[in-house]
């Protein structure tokens, strides 16, 4: 088949899990003999190239002429519409050259809005990672005109899909509750664990006695970073040498986190690192005692999948799709969502129990090998694609 992905988020400009998904899924499809194309973003000169068998088209957003004070008022939705103009133009160009069977996108940003405003072929498949409308609710975002328009644009985009795919049962339940959408098939996201074999997974620590606790993700309310920061003083009471590393872009929370860190006087034990490459991130995982995912909501986060695939221990909130990944005490640890005290207890007990960590580390990789098997996921996805062509 010939599959076209629309994904503003793509290597090397990774923003979050969507970019990792598109990278992993596109490679799995190519290995299975399919032709894959990706339209993604550039802020530089538009360019087309081949990347590991995938044909990539980078486009630069157009600019819509509009009264400047209004532009400031609706900047978010306008940026989405301007980028969609460039994407939609590229879709038309691609269809003149390549026999695209299916277009897959995500629900957020409505990247092909202008094309699918007038067309319904090739069939559009939308994979539900987490709608922006849901993220706005979890982040307690003020319902400005811009936010309302973004949510309406997303709702329109969802209705243009020939088929929706849920990444987890948890996101499907949320879609049913919020949008009344039912009977959505579930196909997990793939992860090629063999790619990690080139990394040295025998690394324990740089010095005897090191305890490194890692958070990976955007610094935003929904991700629960404030819960982890509140847990740190409790952990340090028992493990004073513990180091906490936060890797991710600031989405408005860093000032608050730094304020709490100063208040708790734990500056020596905390380090913030902005966005890094995927390979560097993997090396951080390997130097970690425990990875923490303290989110208030997650769907199927690669911040769980990747460290588990590398044989690392993940402590995560018992929320959303995380409960479909981690079996508590077997291949990971769950804590009560929102409870910094329960999180601190889990971190302490795990860091002080070498035997439990070793058991979980072994089971974690096995879990991801089973759950995220690329070959199995490709077969399920291609079957769904073909049903859309009938």
Q: 327-357 burial, b if ≥16 CB within 10 A, otherwise e?
A: eeeebbbbbebebbebbbbbbbebbeeeeeb
pLDDT for res 351: 93
Cα-only R_g, the chain: 21
Paired residues of 137 in beta bridges: none
**Mean pLDDT confidence for 102-129:** 95
Higher-confidence position of 208 and 346:
346
Question: And the tokens for 266?
Answer: 């734990």
Enumerate the domain spans of the chain.
2-190+373-388, 193-371
**Mean pLDDT confidence for 144-154:** 94
Are the folds of 2-190+373-388 and 193-371 the same? yes
- Mean pLDDT (the chain, rounded): 92
Per-residue pLDDT reduced to its tens digit, 47-73:
999 999 999 999 999 999 888 888 889
- Say what the pTM is: 0.91
The highest-level CATH class for domain 193-371 is alpha beta
pLDDT for res 204: 47
CATH 3.40.50.2000 matches 2-190+373-388: yes
Mean pLDDT lowest for which of 38-47, 249-258, 273-282, 378-387? 273-282
Backbone angles phi, psi at 229, to 5 degrees: -60, -40
Mean pLDDT lowest for which of 6-20, 178-192, 371-385? 6-20
For residues 106 and 110, give the distance between their C-alpha atoms in angstroms, rounded to a whole number: 8
Question: And the tokens for 143?
Answer: 């319902």
Helical spans, DSSP H, in 222-265 = 225-238, 254-264
> Is pLDDT of 203 > 60?
no
Query: Which residues, at least 6 apart from 376, have a Cβ–Cβ distance to it below 8 Å?
Result: none
pLDDT for res 390: 85
> Is pLDDT of 202 > 60?
no
> Is pLDDT of 205 > 50?
no
Question: And the tokens for 285?
Answer: 């995982």
Confidence of residue 111 (pLDDT cuts 50, 70, 90): very high
Is residue 315 exposed (0-12), middle (13-18) or buried (19+ Cβ within 10 Å)? buried
pLDDT for res 295: 95
> Is pLDDT of 380 > 70?
yes
> Is pLDDT of 350 > 70?
yes
Question: And the tokens for 211?
Answer: 């305890």
Pairing, β 333-335 against β 163-166: unpaired
Backbone angles phi, psi at 202, to 5 degrees: -90, -5
**Mean pLDDT confidence for 368-383:** 97
Query: Which residue's entry shows tokens 């243009």?
Result: 160
**Mean pLDDT confidence for 297-322:** 95
CA 188 to chain centre: 13
Confidence of residue 199 (pLDDT cuts 50, 70, 90): low
Paired residues of 2 in beta bridges: 35
pLDDT for res 102: 98
End-to-end CA distance of the chain: 14
pLDDT for res 141: 85
Peptide bond into 174 cis (omega under 30): no
Confidence of residue 134 (pLDDT cuts 50, 70, 90): confident
Nearest to 225 by CA among 243, 246, 240: 246
């Amino acid at each position: 088949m010939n599959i076209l992905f629309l994904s503003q988020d793509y290597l090397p400009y990774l923003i979050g899990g969507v970019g990792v998904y598109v990278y992993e899924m596109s490679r799995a499809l190519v290995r299975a003999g399919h032709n894959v194309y990706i339209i993604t973003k550039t802020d530089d000169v538009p360019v087309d190239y081949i990347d590991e068998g995938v044909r990539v088209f980078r486009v630069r957003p157009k600019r819509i002429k509009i009264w400047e004070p209004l532009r400031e008022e609706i900047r978010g939705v306008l940026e989405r519409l301007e980028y969609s103009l460039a994407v939609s133009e590229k879709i038309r160009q691609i269809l003149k050259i390549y026999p695209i069977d299916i277009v897959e996108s995500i629900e957020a940003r409505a990247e092909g809005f202008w094309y699918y405003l007038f067309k319904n072929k090739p069939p559009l498949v939308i994979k539900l990672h987490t709608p922006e409308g849901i993220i706005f609710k979890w982040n307690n975002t003020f319902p400005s005109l811009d936010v309302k328009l973004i949510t309406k644009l997303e709702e329109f985009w969802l209705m243009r899909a020939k088929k929706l795919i849920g990444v987890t049962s948890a996101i499907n339940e949320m879609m049913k509750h919020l949008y009344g959408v039912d009977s959505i098939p579930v196909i997990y996201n793939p992860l090629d664990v063999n790619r990690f074999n080139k990394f040295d997974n025998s690394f324990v620590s740089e010095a005897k006695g090191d305890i490194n606790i890692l958070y990976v993700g955007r610094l935003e309310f929904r991700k629960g970073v404030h819960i982890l920061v509140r847990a740190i003083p409790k952990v340090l009471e028992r493990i004073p040498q513990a180091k906490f590393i936060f890797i991710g872009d600031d989405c408005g929370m860093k000032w608050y986190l730094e304020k709490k860190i100063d208040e708790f006087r734990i500056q020596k034990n905390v380090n913030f690192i902005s966005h890094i490459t995927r390979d560097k991130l993997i090396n951080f995982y390997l130097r970690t005692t425990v990875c923490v995912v303290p989110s208030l909501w997650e769907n199927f986060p690669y911040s769980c999948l990747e460290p588990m695939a590398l044989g690392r221990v993940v402590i995560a909130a018992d929320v959303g799709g995380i409960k479909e990944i981690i079996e508590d005490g077997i291949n990971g640890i769950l804590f009560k969502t929102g409870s910094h005290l329960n999180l601190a207890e889990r971190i302490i007990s795990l860091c002080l129990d070498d035997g439990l960590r070793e058991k979980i580390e072994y089971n974690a990789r096995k879990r991801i090998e089973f759950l995220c098997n690329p070959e199995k996921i490709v077969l399920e996805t291609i079957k769904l694609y073909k049903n859309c062509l009938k």
